[in-house]
Amino acid sequence: MVSRFRSIALLVVLAVFGLGFALAQPAIQPTVDITQVPAAAQPSAHFDADAATEAYLAMIPPAATARSNAYFEGGYWLILWDFLYSAVVCLILLNLRWSAKMRDLAVRVTRFRWLQDAIYWGQYLVLTSVLGFPLGFYEGYIREHKYGLATQSFWPWMGDQGKGLLIGLILGGLAVVLLLAIVRKLPRTWWLWGSIAMICLTMVSVAIGPVYLQPIFNKVTKLSDPKVTVPILRMAHANGIPTNDVYQIDASRQTTRMSANVSGFAGTTRITLNDNLLRRGSPEEIQAVMGHEMGHYVMHHIPKGIFFMSVVIVIFFAGLYWSLGWALGRWGERWQIRDVSDPAVLPLVFLLAGVFFFVLTPVMNTETRTQEKEADMFGLNAARLPDGFAQAAIHLSEYRKMRPGPVEEYFFFDHPSGYDRIHSAMVWKGENLQLFEKPPAQPAAH
Ligand SMILES: [Zn+2]
């Protein structure tokens, strides 16, 4: 069996290398850089938010719109393909009893249950990473290059994948060992204690993310240019954020995307701008984006997001308790899985998780999008730079569809659409025109 694994892995790697060289294309560079406020968005007595929004959207070349629509809509299908592909991988592992064989190997190596679980996890993660590589490579490398969003060549990209795999081995291994121990100790109530353990693990990983995980992939430094930091910190202090640091990350190592985020939890919370935003964004745009990020911070979106995830995790574990029992009753013998505490059950767990989170896609997106909308409104009020915010929305149109239908937005958007963001900004501007009108000329002093 091991030799069969090896030959499959070799085949996959060879196929992928061939593909990689055949499909390598010159990157398409993003073209839209907005530096002027269009005429219809200038303050005037007949300022109209709809017309101002259209004027901004008209600044995006049609070819750029077509490209980002194609990229973003392709992403809808990838949700489906990712789900189906990983479901097939899980079913192969179960039905060909590869999962049972990996468990048998772990049992032969050691008699300690926790170590058996860890050894199983190592085999499982490596095997599913190899089997999942073709789709992951297409999605994360070929497609990103095709749309001009990636900056990494093959080997640095592979290096990042390797780091991700190592982190998965360590953190995933700890989670698997802990959860299986809980299942063994508490066979009737493991779903409740397991979900509590999972929530704690989620909190820990969010907390260590910006300090210990992010620097494995990118260089994170404190932003020192006072031209950028002074207005940001002024806005932060005005909004009750007691920080004196803003961070920057060299995201251009991997991508051309402009972005910023709030990350961390319980003492590690911080705002980070990426270097693409710093390089390409105008000062108003940077300030407008920071206003949005501060909204996440002030409205405690990370703790609220963790709370939401906690509810989802408890529901998932309760469903898992029921559905694992049902599925093992029907097929357990055929898959040679002894019971729920057998590590060989993991492909089934991931299969059920795949179904659960696939169905939940619109719910998860709507939860995030609702927070993003709140942050947008906070940012407009805090930064008072609606045109800077519109510029940012246009920059983000390089990888997000600007004008989806309402159903499409509900299902697939984890941020408000570009149209919605510019429109909100222009409505805000229309209600605050006095901030943008030039003061009447003073009579010259004699
Ligand atoms: Zn946001």
Query: pLDDT exceeding 90 applies to what percent of the chain?
Result: 81
Distance 286 CA to ligand 1 centre (A): 13
User: Given a cut of 90, is residue 71 above it in pLDDT?
Assistant: yes
Please count the CA atoms within 13 angstroms of the CA of 360 that sit on its side-chain side: 16
**Do 56 and 430 form a contact (C-beta atoms < 8 A)?**
no
pLDDT of residue 1: 38
User: Given a cut of 50, is residue 249 above it in pLDDT?
Assistant: yes
Helix 386-396 crosses helix 361-383 at what angle (to 10 degrees)? 150
Q: Looking at residue 260, what DSSP letter applies?
A: E
Residues 6+ apart with CB under 8 A from 298: 239, 240, 241, 378
Determine the Cα–Cα distance for residues 326 and 320; give it in Å rounded to an integer: 10
Distance 440 CA to ligand 1 centre (A): 37
Distance 137 CA to ligand 1 centre (A): 27
Tens digit of each residue's pLDDT (9 = 90 or more) over 181-217: 999 999 999 999 999 999 999 999 999 988 999 999 9
Determine the Cα–Cα distance for residues 172 and 178; give it in Å rounded to an integer: 10
Dig out the tokens for 380 from the structure. 């407009």
Distance 256 CA to ligand 1 centre (A): 18
The band of 383, judged by pLDDT with boundaries at 50, 70 and 90, is very high
User: Given a cut of 90, is residue 243 above it in pLDDT?
Assistant: no
Give the closest residue to 365 by CA, choosing from 435, 318, 323, 305. Answer: 305
Give the closest residue to 179 by CA, choosing from 263, 111, 117. Answer: 117
**Do 7 and 127 form a contact (C-beta atoms < 8 A)?**
no
Dig out the tokens for 154 from the structure. 């093959």
Give the closest residue to 53 by CA, choosing from 64, 40, 65, 62. Answer: 40
Count CB atoms within 10 A of the CB of residue 329. Answer: 9
pLDDT of residue 446: 55
Tens digit of each residue's pLDDT (9 = 90 or more) over 418-429: 999 999 999 999
E strand intervals along 232-342? 247-249, 260-263, 270-274
Distance 292 CA to ligand 1 centre (A): 6
From 202-211, 334-343, 345-354, 381-390, the region with the lowest mean pLDDT:
202-211
Distance 397 CA to ligand 1 centre (A): 15
Determine the Cα–Cα distance for residues 345 and 93; give it in Å rounded to an integer: 10
Residues with CB under 5 A from ligand 1 (ion): 372, 375
The band of 386, judged by pLDDT with boundaries at 50, 70 and 90, is very high
- Mean pLDDT, range 72-89, rounded to an integer: 95
**pTM to 2 decimals?**
0.87
Distance 372 CA to ligand 1 centre (A): 5
pLDDT of residue 8: 42
Distance 301 CA to ligand 1 centre (A): 9
pLDDT of residue 444: 59
Residue 77's Cβ-count burial label (10 Å; 0-12, 13-18, 19+) is exposed
Dig out the tokens for 429 from the structure. 């501007």
Determine the Cα–Cα distance for residues 328 and 337; give it in Å rounded to an integer: 7
- Mean pLDDT, range 335-351, rounded to an integer: 96
Please count the CA atoms within 13 angstroms of the CA of 270 that sit on its side-chain side: 21
Distance 261 CA to ligand 1 centre (A): 7
The band of 245, judged by pLDDT with boundaries at 50, 70 and 90, is confident
User: Given a cut of 50, is residue 374 above it in pLDDT?
Assistant: yes
Dig out the tokens for 26 from the structure. 């010159």
The band of 34, judged by pLDDT with boundaries at 50, 70 and 90, is low
Mean pLDDT of the chain, nearest integer? 90
CA Rg value for the chain: 25
Distance 422 CA to ligand 1 centre (A): 15
Residue 396 CA to its chain's centroid (Å): 15
Distance 11 CA to ligand 1 centre (A): 41
Tens digit of each residue's pLDDT (9 = 90 or more) over 93-143: 999 999 999 999 999 999 999 999 999 999 999 999 999 999 999 999 999
Distance 125 CA to ligand 1 centre (A): 31
Distance 249 CA to ligand 1 centre (A): 16
- Mean pLDDT, range 223-233, rounded to an integer: 91
User: Given a cut of 70, is residue 348 above it in pLDDT?
Assistant: yes
Residue 426 CA to its chain's centroid (Å): 28
Distance 416 CA to ligand 1 centre (A): 10
